[in-house]
Amino acid sequence: MIDPKILRERPEEVLTIYRERLFDEAAVTTAQEVLKVDTERRRLLNAADELKAKRNAASQGIGREKDEAKRAAAIKEMEGVKAEIAALDEKLATVEVEFERLMLQLPNLPAENVPTGKSDAQNIVTREHGEKRRFDFQPKPHWEIGEGLGIIDFERGVKISGTRFYVLKGAGARLQRALIAWMIDVHVEQGYTEIYPPYMVKQACLFGTGNLPKFGDNLYRDAEEDFYFIPTAEVPVTNLYRDEILDAESLPVKHVAFSACFRREKMAAGRDTRGMKRGHQFDKVEMVKFVHPSESAAALQQLLADAEAILKGLELPYRVVKMCTGDLSFAACEKYDLEVFAPGCDEWLEVSSCSNFGDFQARRAQIRFKSSKDKKDKPRHVHTLNGSGLALPRTVIAVLENYQQPDGTVRVPSVLRPYMGGAEVIRKDGSPR
């Protein structure tokens, strides 16, 4: 959540940001409600504190009073004060719950260098890397390539699970597994510690990362127990340190994790959902960082470079897109997307989002740090970042479509060949040879 102190001390500035940079009138309304509740909250706190000070002073006076009649009268008066304090504490508890509920609905404030824009149309392509491949034949989309090679089975995926599901077979399954293993190895070499997290988490974890309460409709959950299927490995990995104080000298903490991801996305039929581009279940390799606040801006650029290293290794053409304010995620203060070109689909596909959340998630999850060497150091919130490194299956799509050959076979990228048993080509029988 945002720092309540910022909203309290600079309300007009925050309201202007929500209205004129994020174009979020709902956030403006919620922020105004927060200010009203916070005023009442502080009034009750002050009133309760005054009564408690009066009670404490009176208790000391009662202890010194020798006259029994005066002592009894003072005790009776204090009983009334105690009842007032109890009533105020009860009201305060209710107001505190409402204050917390409203604060959890406020989106993060964008960094100053984020361009202002209402939609993805105002996002900025900051650079492109690599040239699009030129074909001397008409490139096919991945669904035709996969079905022709016998490595993707859409019909049986739908039969066993429904629309937006598919089955990877033979070399298709091995290609995805190879990509995941290679990606993790690259990120470990970059200094990340590998994590294998649970795929189900408690509700508190989703509040911590900002998925709840806003995105509850997109989550799969157990109807009877406090379990949610994760929408991304960001959720369990970030919450590894929930309610903890990290040693400042241990920062930055860098983790990488592979997981399946589950999302109840509402998808319409058509071009955007053809093939494997969007689904309710997909695999992803995720990088998560916990850093000192003074280092988070530089950490975002390094995170982006770490994700780009995967695309460079695969020799795929890609571009870097900086998100405008209207296309930022709820929790991010700054974000970049990496989009790879898929020639068969003839479009750019997002394969990574690299985000800096500032202290937004750390406040919600209470992840702090302090120096173990400085006795006077006080706990402060860390800054958290995450980025896909990369998301599957769109990386599989990009490999199939960029490495396809005229005879319908697919060359295996050189970096993946050791993970594919030395195979150089995926042939029509669905096997890597």
Beta strands in 304-382 (DSSP E): 318-322, 334-342, 347-356, 367-370, 380-381
Closest CA to 239 of 197, 300, 295, 284: 197
> What's the CA gap between 169 and 331, in Å, rounded?
37
Check whether 187 has a pLDDT greater than 60: yes
CB 382 within 8 A of CB 246: yes
Q: Which residues on neighbouring strands pair with residue 244, listed in sequence order?
A: 367
> What's the CA gap between 205 and 301, in Å, rounded?
26
Q: Which residues on neighbouring strands pair with residue 339, listed in sequence order?
A: 319, 350
Closest CA to 349 of 359, 357, 341, 358: 341
**Taking the CA atoms of the chain, what radius of gyration do you get in angstroms?**
27
Q: For the segment 376-406, what is each residue's pLDDT rounded down to a tens digit?
A: 899 999 999 999 999 999 999 999 999 999 9
Higher pLDDT, 75 or 236: 236
Check whether 43 has a pLDDT greater than 60: yes
Q: Give the model's pLDDT for residue 430.
A: 60
| Run of H or E including 49 | helix 25-64
Kindly report the CA angle at 109 between 107 and 110, in degrees rounded to 5?
A: 120
pTM: 0.91
Q: How confident is the model at residue 291 (pLDDT cuts 50, 70, 90)?
A: very high
Phi, psi of 197 (to 5 degrees): -90, 165
- Read off the tokens for 154: 């859409």
User: Rounded to whole angstroms, what are the CA distances from 303 to 251, 295, 384, 404?
Assistant: 15, 12, 11, 30
- Read off the tokens for 67: 């006259």
Check whether 98 has a pLDDT greater than 90: yes
Ordered domains of the chain (ranges, CATH):
4-103 (1.10.287), 120-426 (3.30.930.10)
Q: For the segment 14-28, what is each residue's pLDDT rounded down to a tens digit?
A: 999 999 999 999 999
Beta strands in 115-234 (DSSP E): 124-129, 152-153, 167-168, 193-195, 200-201, 228-229
> What's the CA gap between 377 and 412, in Å, rounded?
53
Q: How confident is the model at residue 414 (pLDDT cuts 50, 70, 90)?
A: very high
Q: For the segment 111-156, what is each residue's pLDDT rounded down to a tens digit?
A: 999 999 999 999 999 999 999 999 999 999 999 999 999 999 999 9
Q: For the segment 265-286, what is each residue's pLDDT rounded down to a tens digit?
A: 765 545 556 789 888 999 999 9
Residue 298 half-sphere exposure, CB side, CA atoms within 13 Å?
A: 6
